[in-house]
């Protein structure tokens, strides 16, 4: 009996360890659904909708207009959209992210959801330090150099893409949707950090 239990236990460990995540196969991951995995209070947003119209940026739909409803990949490509949003929210000061403005924005806008405000402030704070490095990496890409007339200063969109990624990765357990798609996406993103722009 003990032998059977031990054999079953080791078989289970062997099979669990044998589950492989293929970082080359991104078809199984739907980046456009990532914002469904971590519940957040935002919905329709006139300011974001206005910037999308102004810059010809496509939002998921009228009920999904929060900053974290956009994939990081689309945020990076929407440099003029990111610049417009950050400008209208007064989040930039002397071409740098103003963390005091970020703190004020989220604590004042979400007094009934301090956990969400804290997660967003933490995400911005984390990305604030990386914005210079990420912006310079972005500017050095050949695509940007070839199409620079179609882009705005990318700093805002680089920070926004980072915030989206941070929010997803640090989603509080009680906000996390425990669907198979979300669990698979999170496992994929942790194992294959460079495979998806969003993650």
CATH (residue range 39-191): 1.10.238.270
Is the per-residue pLDDT at 103 higher than 90?
yes
Q: Would you say residue 14 has pLDDT above 80?
A: no
Has residue 199 got a pLDDT over 60? no
User: Quick one: pLDDT band at residue 24, thresholds 50, 70, 90?
Assistant: low
- Where do the structural domains in the chain lie, given as residue ranges? 39-191
Does the pLDDT of residue 5 top 50, yes or no? no
Q: How would you write the chain as a 3-class SS string? A: CHHHHHHHHHHHHHHHHCCCCCCCCCCCCCHHHHHHCECCCCCCCHHHHHHHHHHCCCCCECCECCHHHCCHHHHHHCHHHHHHHHHHCCCEECCEECHHHHHHHHHHHCCCCHHHHHHHHHHHHHHHHHHHHHHHHHHCCHHHHHCHHHCCCCHHHHHHHHHHHHHHHCCCHHHECCCHHHHHHHHHHHHCCCCCCCC
pTM score of the predicted model: 0.73
């Amino acid at each position: 009996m003990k032998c059977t239990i031990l054999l079953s236990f080791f078989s289970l460990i062997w099979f669990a360890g044998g589950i492989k995540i293929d970082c080359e196969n991104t078809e199984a991951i739907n980046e456009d659904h990532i914002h469904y995995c971590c519940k957040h209070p935002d919905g329709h947003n006139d300011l974001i909708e206005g910037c999308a119209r102004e810059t010809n940026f496509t939002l998921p739909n009228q009920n999904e207009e929060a900053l974290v409803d956009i994939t990081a990949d689309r945020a990076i490509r929407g440099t003029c959209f990111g610049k417009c949003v950050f400008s209208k929210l007064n989040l930039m000061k002397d071409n740098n992210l103003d963390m005091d403005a970020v703190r004020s924005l989220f604590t004042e806008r979400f007094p009934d959801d301090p956990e969400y405000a804290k997660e967003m402030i933490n995400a911005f704070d984390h990305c604030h330090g990386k914005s210079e490095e990420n912006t310079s990496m972005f500017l050095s890409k050949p695509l940007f150099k070839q199409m620079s007339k179609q882009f705005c200063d990318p700093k805002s969109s680089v920070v926004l893409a980072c915030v989206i990624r941070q929010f997803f990765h640090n989603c509080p357990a009680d906000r996390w949707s425990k669907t198979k798609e979300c669990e698979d996406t999170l496992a994929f993103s942790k194992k294959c950090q460079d495979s998806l722009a969003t993650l």
